[in-house]
């Protein structure tokens, strides 16, 4: 079932153009230098989608497992990235698929555009030349749509990924309103958001979760929100909007 991504109405970048790319179950918001790149973006998405679905047809465990699967050196690059991220965070490979697709498409477009932002269901790949703000949507939390994370150009390219146990169709063992992760690897950020979100079932779980996962050097920043509680560790600059 398709969820209308109404939060996109708040997305604006006066210096860049934006368009949607839809293929199969993939729905991307692409922000870049030129609208002429839409065809290239659509081609990239189609190639990735076909590569992934072809692999899943032969290896259905990739899609059905709730734990990491054995690394396959002969798998397509996007699948290998998902496997590595899943193994690092102790989650299933599909927990990182949205972030992996966002980054793969973004890196292809960087050959033609100096700045690229790809948003895939709350998971973002970003390369920017100027400071940007990423608004945080956290369901019924009082923080929702009231705060944003500041991203500096020197941090990018970077992945900013969000998982929620109370918003959206993605499966979570936890009930966090939002877990936001910053990492160089968008697939890893996506997997980490799921892993951390799985551990937060009540507000008291926030401190332990961010302290535990904040030790991972691959994650540059973690934000966790449940209700009226928010925990932050690492390089997360929060601003009001």
Q: Is the pLDDT of residue 6 over 60?
A: no
**pLDDT class for 83, splitting at 50, 70, 90?**
very high
**pLDDT class for 175, splitting at 50, 70, 90?**
confident
As its CATH architecture, domain 10-240 has Roll (3.10)
**pLDDT, tens digit (0-9, with 9 covering 90-100), for 218-233:** 999 999 999 999 999 9
The whole model's pTM is what? 0.92
DSSP bridge partners of 149:
134, 238
Q: Give 103-140 as a DSSP string.
A: HHHHHHHTTT-S-EEEEETTEEEEE-SS-EEEE---TT
> Which of these, 13, 10, 49, 6, lies nearest to 30 by C-alpha position?
13
Average pLDDT over residues 90-102: 97
Distance CA 119, CA 8 (A): 9
């Amino acid at each position: 079932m398709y969820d209308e991504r109404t939060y996109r109405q708040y997305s604006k970048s006066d210096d860049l153009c934006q368009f949607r790319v839809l293929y199969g179950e993939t729905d991307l918001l692409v922000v870049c230098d030129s609208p002429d790149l839409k065809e290239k973006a659509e081609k990239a998405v189609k190639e990735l989608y076909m590569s992934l679905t072809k692999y899943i047809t032969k290896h259905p465990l990739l899609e059905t497992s709730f734990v990491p699967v054995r690394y396959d050196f002969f798998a397509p690059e996007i699948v290998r990235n998902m496997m590595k991220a899943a193994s690092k965070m102790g989650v299933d490979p599909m927990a990182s698929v949205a972030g992996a697709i966002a980054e793969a498409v973004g890196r292809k477009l960087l050959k033609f555009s100096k700045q690229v932002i790809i948003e895939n269901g709350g998971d973002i790949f970003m390369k920017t030349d100027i400071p940007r703000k990423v608004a945080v949507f956290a369901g019924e939390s009082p923080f929702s749509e009231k705060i944003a994370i500041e991203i500096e150009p020197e941090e990018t390219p970077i992945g900013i990924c969000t998982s929620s146990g109370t918003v959206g169709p993605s499966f979570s063992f936890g009930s966090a309103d939002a877990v936001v992760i910053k990492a160089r690897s968008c697939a890893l950020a996506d997997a980490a958001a799921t892993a951390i979100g799985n551990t937060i079932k009540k507000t008291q779980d926030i401190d332990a979760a961010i302290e535990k996962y904040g030790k991972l050097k691959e994650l540059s920043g973690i934000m966790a929100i449940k209700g009226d509680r928010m925990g932050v560790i690492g390089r997360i600059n929060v601003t009001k909007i």
